Structure 1
């Protein structure tokens, strides 16, 4: 399958996710080598590496050095996004869960991050910047950013909590970014800057500032999303 559209690694990742969801790839299956995948998709090996890193961050694969890349067992999301889409209270609850978990995750990430973690978070930021230039919503890079912070926190249980709702997070991030794009008082650029400030706080290992910046970001998202929903309902 040849892929020629922008943001190639996301397109590659989406195809592999679809193969997993539709049963063509199952838990324990070993993916072909990076070279073979590169030839199969018609893209460079660097693009395949980016796609695999994104899939690992989302919990779809496990990369075992010297052995290969394997499909992992993922729990189904606990919430049905389509079912909660029109229920303001359920969406409020979901945003509240994110706030409770991710503020703590940001604090721990600032304390425990290493240089490799910073590179992963910064990579997601660069993807967001590219999305702005290409007029793309960039929800995949948004999710990649938050999961990279979860990695940096070094707490497997907190990371698993986010992975359990990662599919729903991606949907809500997409809708949030769509609202930001068409709301005059907000912008995708502002959203990017909020993420950048979280990264900078984690980089300097200021735990209090990191949790403050994450809390502010999620509060802003909640305001925009719920305000838009209520306007739609009225």
Structure 2
């Protein structure tokens, strides 16, 4: 339950109203919002604090440091084609390793979240922001399935750059939302199957192919 609460808190803090940071609701309010006990929320907050996502002040509460600002400081905020390409290539290093590690760990609870994220990609009538969020949620679920917090931490920091690539690619090529949806879903399913089977080598290979094809789809060229 702690992992579920941690994931829900990450999603909560990714909402637009938290872009400038601020003080979190009380632990009791968060517990009611998420649907877990207060001790579970406290454990989840401790995880986020260890990851550097929030700070806590005795007698004052918990405060969120916006990931976007941190990401801009660490990774920059390039909106160039080369910048997008560099981000894709860096993701190959991180996310291929994450897919392989998720297959090796084979955590049943986290595997279920990967399945849920993959199924969410099949939904119709979604706007561009929802399409991006569901794609990102799938990759984040795999990162979390490694049980190594540095994988999801890195992916969260990259989120603004990943979204930039998503937006630039569709703008340059005038791609409707669902043009590549069926192919992307198919690639996701293959990755999920390899992870379920504990085939780390295949999971890594399929993730590499998925990101390579993504670079080609969104940028319109091979490099």
Q: TM-score, normalised by structure 2?
A: 0.69
Matched, 1:161 2:154: yes
Distance 1:106 1:200 in 2: 11
Q: Which moved more, 1:153-162 or 1:63-72?
A: 63-72
**2:40 matches 1:65:** yes
Matches within 5 A, 1:26-65: 26=23, 30=27, 32-33=29-30, 35=32, 37=33, 65=40
Q: Cα deviation per residue 1:74-109 (whole Å; 9 max; x = unaligned)?
A: 55112344xx22x22222211110011111111111
Q: RMSD across aligned C-alpha pairs, in angstroms? A: 3.6
Q: 2:176 aligns with which of 178, 182, 189?
A: 182
Does structure 1 retain, via aligned residues, the 8 Å contact 2:170–2:218? no
Matched with 1:22 is 20
Structure 2 gap segments, 5+ residues each = 1-7, 55-64
TM-aligned CA distance change 1:163 to 1:173, over 3 Å = same
CA distance in 2, matches of 1:93, 1:33: 38
Decide whether aligned partners of structure 1 residues 203 and 14 sit closer, same or farther in structure 2, where only a CA change above 3 A counts.
Answer: same
Distance 2:30 2:177 in 1: 44
Q: Normalising by the residue count of structure 1, what TM-score does the alignment of the two structures yield?
A: 0.66
Paired residues in the alignment total 189
Q: Distance in 2 between matches of 1:150 and 1:211?
A: 12
The 2-side partners of 1:172 and 1:64 are apart by 39
Aligned 8 A contact 2:100 2:200 in 1: yes
Q: Secondary structure at the match of 2:75?
A: coil
